[in-house]
Amino acid sequence: MKPDSAEALSAAYARGEISPVEATRECLARIAAWEPKLNAMYRLDREGALEQARAAEARWRAGAPRSPIDGVPITLKENIHTRGDPAPIGTRANEDLPAPREDAPAAARVREAGCVILGKTTMPDYGMLSSGVSSLHGVTRNPWRLDRNPSGSSSGAAAAAAAGYAPLHLGTDIGGSLRLPATHCGIFALKPSLGRVPVYPPFMGRVVGPMTRSVADAALLMNVIARPDARDFMSLPPVEQDFSSEEPRPGMLKIGFLPDMGVGLPVHPEVRAAAEAAAAALAGAGCAVESIRSFLSAEMLDGMCRFFEARSHNDLAQLAPPRRAKVLPFVAEWCTWRAAAFSGRDVMQAYTLVMAMREAAVAATEPYDFLVSPTSPILAYEAELPAPGNDAHDALPHIAFTVPWNMSEQPAASVNWTWSVDGLPIGIQLIGKRFDDLGVLRLARLVERIRPKQRSWPAIPSSNAARA
């Protein structure tokens, strides 16, 4: 049995058909085969993973698993702290900083649940670019086409999920960093409501979420990580709900279809066609679907970009010159070319526009149960570029569909729909009202069922195959 699904592994563990050790060894073999081409892993703890797997195997044999995903392999994005492991946030400027002494909330929850932590995945410098390019990690590539970018900033996690490194992966998202790599790598990702999955350190719009090959696996992971943690002062109160609930009744749903934001990069014709096909399929399934106009202005998007630039410039300015010189030059230019001259008023004006975007996003959602849109306006771009277009003075023109929902704190997911004529995945985005993470997951199950037949996952490179 292949360890492709957490749901299937859990059932197989319970029946004794496969052990956590066997599943972990298979995952390690896949990593060994793929990694010379993908570069998705920052740290790989082979011996530690096997030790965790043996402990999980003993618990299943004793009939006392810690959770349904006890013994299921998982990777974590490197900025999600795990005790004793360095967390340089993707940049050489931090490569020699002391390792964290405790697990971040999500890491603590998956460890408590018995998941086998294989290691940490790559990300770009400071997580502030939607790409797989890092001054520390190098270039992470897309398994569907190695000359394409996986996007980011959860670049390694998305590439690892598509390549089958493990059934479960955790990433982070402050402007699209779960959903953008999900659409470009053909996987599922959920950006939860702010506070649903505690984050440390917390920040406006920043979330941790699951990245998986299926909605069912993401739901299993949400059942574990969506628990309060006092370290996140924005974490939500506990909610007793099973994220693995069945799909909704389509006839009861009213859906707004948002085909074009009208700002940022233009929507690629194949992306638009995929989103339109998804909206039509939902209507055919019984949902009431109507098109809506964009709520986002160019001023709002630029305000968001200026706020991000100001935030990152503050981080850069605190570094001593020798450390600052190690930051990816593209990132350093992006966050200094105008932010270095920002006044306090400039920053507050940008923040005010971010709040206006938040208000507009919530208002656009209010008449509907859910919105449906493209996840990204573009197809996967060149692997070596730090941003689509490679312009440090316009580095985030592709986040218009994703970033509003970070600031409005609403749940949003990316589900693969189809592929381009060149074989690149194209996902659609599902947006729910604040706190309705369960509803988004249920709608995603429906989309999974009605979408076109999916292609086989990228094949493991035979020339590098190795058994762990």
Q: Which two tokens stand for residue 319?
A: 């570094």
Of 19, 77, 135, 414, the catalytic one is 77
Helix crossing, 20-38 with 46-61: angle to 10°? 150
Q: Judge whether 377 and 398 are in contact, CB under 8 Å.
A: yes
Q: How far apart are CA 330 and CA 336, in angstroms?
A: 10
The catalytic residue among 153, 193, 312, 373 is: 153
Which distant-in-sequence residues (6+ apart) come within 8 Å of 415 by Cβ?
188, 215, 427, 428, 430, 444, 447, 448, 451
Residue 312 bears catalytic tag: no
**E strand or H helix that includes residue 169:** strand 168-173
Q: Which helix (H) or strand (E) holds 41?
A: strand 41-44
Verify whether residue 135 is a known catalytic residue.
no
Instruction: State the distance between the two ends of the chain, measured CA to CA, in whole angstroms.
Output: 16
Choose, from 10, 177, 214, 244, the residue flagged as catalytic. 177
**d(Cα 376, Cα 373) in Å, to the nearest integer?**
9
| Known catalytic membership, residue 2 | no
Question: Using the 8-state DSSP alphabet, how is residue 70 labeled?
Answer: T
- The answer to whether 447 touches 430, Cβ cutoff 8 Å, is yes
Tokens describing residue 344? 């306090």
Sheet holding 188-191, edge to edge: 41-44, 116-121, 73-77, 168-173, 207-212, 188-191, 412-419, 425-432, 370-374, 254-257, 288-291
Amino acid at 294: S
254-257 and 288-291 beta bridge pairing: parallel
> Where in the sequence numbering do the catalytic residues fall?
77, 153, 177
